[in-house]
Amino acid sequence: MKLSTTLMYSGNPREAADQVSRLEQAGLDTIWVPEAYGFDAPTLMGYLAARTETIEIGSGIMNVYSRTPGALLQTAAGLDNVSGGRAILGLGTSGPQVIEGFHGVPYAKPLARTAEVIDIVRRGLKREKLENDGLIKLPLTKEDGAVTGLGKPLKILTHPERDVIPIYIASLGLKSVEQTAAIADGWIPMLFHPEKAGLVWGDALAAGKAKRSADLGPLEINTGGMVAIGEGAETKALLDLARPLFALYVGGMGAKGKNFYNDVACAYGYEKEATEIQDLYLSGKKKEAEALVPTDWLEAGNFVGPASYVRERIEAFRAAGVTNLSLTPVTDDPAGTIAQVKEWLS
């Protein structure tokens, strides 16, 4: 099992990046760089490539709408070059709130768009000439609003560091998870409950794997939560630090009927709590919403408590198929915490 974390920053990613080299020395395998509607991921990933030597650097995630497939190909190839072959392309569809509200492009055909992007990136890395006959029919005509159509098909001008870069997909919906299991190198599920994941996604994963090419190898799974190792009530109280994140996603990431994380909470069996959290969050009562996040979900999805308990939770994630454990240390010594967990995983 690999060990990863997500770059956490609040306004100044340079300060957060200062920790990454120490985490690398402590044994961290992968660093994920988020984007959402903050700083772009590729800039920070390139910065981290210059600050590190061995750690894998993944986008966690870039959406498939705000950049063309060709631009994502260029970005993946460029990052893989400057990192010396350490890039991971983490993709996702995000949601209408970010795609339409922030980027101003339609949130349309998410499954087809994701598959199209992955196909073009993979062909492009092999320096195949790119012709797109998927969602965007080419050549365009003047009637379509285009000045010119596509001329000669092109292949990427430069030679990529590798002709294959791992592509992970962040997905939660059943059809999306099935597609992920069929075509991606890895899966990034959010708010993961290892004991309930099989009930929610087991059939979708099995259906996708049945269509999976043998060339891809086994599906990797990257997920996890906060980690704090220690005895007593003071350590246990740190679990409450996860409440705002859970409440934000379940309550605030989308409107009613259009929140994937709320759907997952319902699928886990927390339908009553999910409804109340969303009602409170959307009405501005965030603290009240946070208080309703089920404690057993927080306990199951994070790693907070005595060493024996944390190791028990790690094994639960391993049993659920997780191959890359993503941890966010909430301790005074993040590198020491990562080193301790890395020793357990060795």
Q: How far apart are CA 47 and CA 79, in angstroms?
A: 10
Tell me the pLDDT tens digit for each residue of 160-186.
999 999 999 999 999 999 999 999 999
Average pLDDT, the chain: 93
The rounded percent of the chain whose pLDDT value lies above 70 is: 94
Tell me the pLDDT tens digit for each residue of 262-271.
999 999 999 9
- How many other C-beta atoms lie within 10 A of the C-beta of residue 76? 27
Checking DSSP bridges between strand 87-92 and strand 62-63, what pairing results, if any?
Answer: parallel
- Read out DSSP for 44-72? HHHHHHHH-SS-EEEES-EESSSS-HHHH
Among 171, 198, 154, 185, which Cα is nearest to 64's?
A: 171
Task: Answer yes or no: are the C-beta atoms of 325 and 3 closer than 8 Å.
Answer: yes
In DSSP terms, 221 is beta-bridged to 187
The pair phi, psi for residue 287, each rounded to 5°, is -65, -40
Task: Answer yes or no: are the C-beta atoms of 180 and 91 closer than 8 Å.
Answer: no
Tell me the pLDDT tens digit for each residue of 190-249.
999 999 999 999 999 999 999 999 999 999 999 999 999 999 999 999 999 999 999 999
Model confidence band, residue 16 (pLDDT cutoffs 50, 70, 90)? confident
Domain boundaries, the chain: 2-127+157-230+301-345, 231-300
Among 223, 224, 220, 212, which Cα is nearest to 186's?
A: 220
**In the 3-class helix/strand/coil scheme, how is 127-154 assigned residue by residue?**
CCCECCCCCCCCCCCHHHCCCCCCCCCE
In DSSP terms, 88 is beta-bridged to 58
pLDDT at 143 over 70: no
Task: Answer yes or no: are the C-beta atoms of 201 and 174 closer than 8 Å.
Answer: yes
Rounded alpha-carbon distances, angstroms, from residue 162 to 91, 146, 159: 18, 34, 8
Residue 11: predicted pLDDT? 73
Tell me the pLDDT tens digit for each residue of 246-260.
999 999 998 898 899
Residue range 91-98: mean pLDDT, rounded: 92
Model confidence band, residue 13 (pLDDT cutoffs 50, 70, 90)? confident
CATH class of 2-127+157-230+301-345: alpha beta
Tell me the pLDDT tens digit for each residue of 316-333.
999 999 999 999 999 999
Task: Answer yes or no: are the C-beta atoms of 90 and 4 closer than 8 Å.
Answer: no
pLDDT at 145 over 60: no
Residue 135: predicted pLDDT? 56
In DSSP terms, 2 is beta-bridged to 324
Model confidence band, residue 97 (pLDDT cutoffs 50, 70, 90)? confident
Residue 134: predicted pLDDT? 57
- Among the residues of the chain, which ranges form H helices? 13-17, 20-25, 41-51, 69-82, 96-99, 110-125, 174-183, 194-210, 232-237, 243-247, 260-267, 271-282, 286-291, 295-301, 307-319, 334-345
Residue 254: predicted pLDDT? 84
What's the alpha-carbon Rg for the chain, to the nearest Å?
Answer: 20
Q: How far apart are CA 168 and CA 89, in angstroms?
A: 6
Tell me the pLDDT tens digit for each residue of 19-66.
999 999 999 999 999 998 999 999 999 999 999 999 999 999 999 999
ω into 61 cis (within 30 of 0): yes
Residue 138: predicted pLDDT? 41
Task: Answer yes or no: are the C-beta atoms of 323 and 222 closer than 8 Å.
Answer: yes
Q: How far apart are CA 139 and CA 118, in angstroms?
A: 21
Residue 132: predicted pLDDT? 65
Model confidence band, residue 150 (pLDDT cutoffs 50, 70, 90)? very low
Tell me the pLDDT tens digit for each residue of 66-94.
999 999 999 999 999 999 999 999 999 99
Q: How far apart are CA 291 and CA 123, in angstroms?
A: 48
Please list, in sequence order, all residues whose beta carbon lies within 8 angstroms of the beta carbon of residue 322, skipping any fewer than 6 positions away. Answer: 1, 192, 194, 221, 222, 223, 224
Among 79, 74, 77, which Cα is nearest to 47's?
A: 79
Helix (H, G, I), strand (E, B) or coil at 7: coil
pLDDT at 149 over 70: no
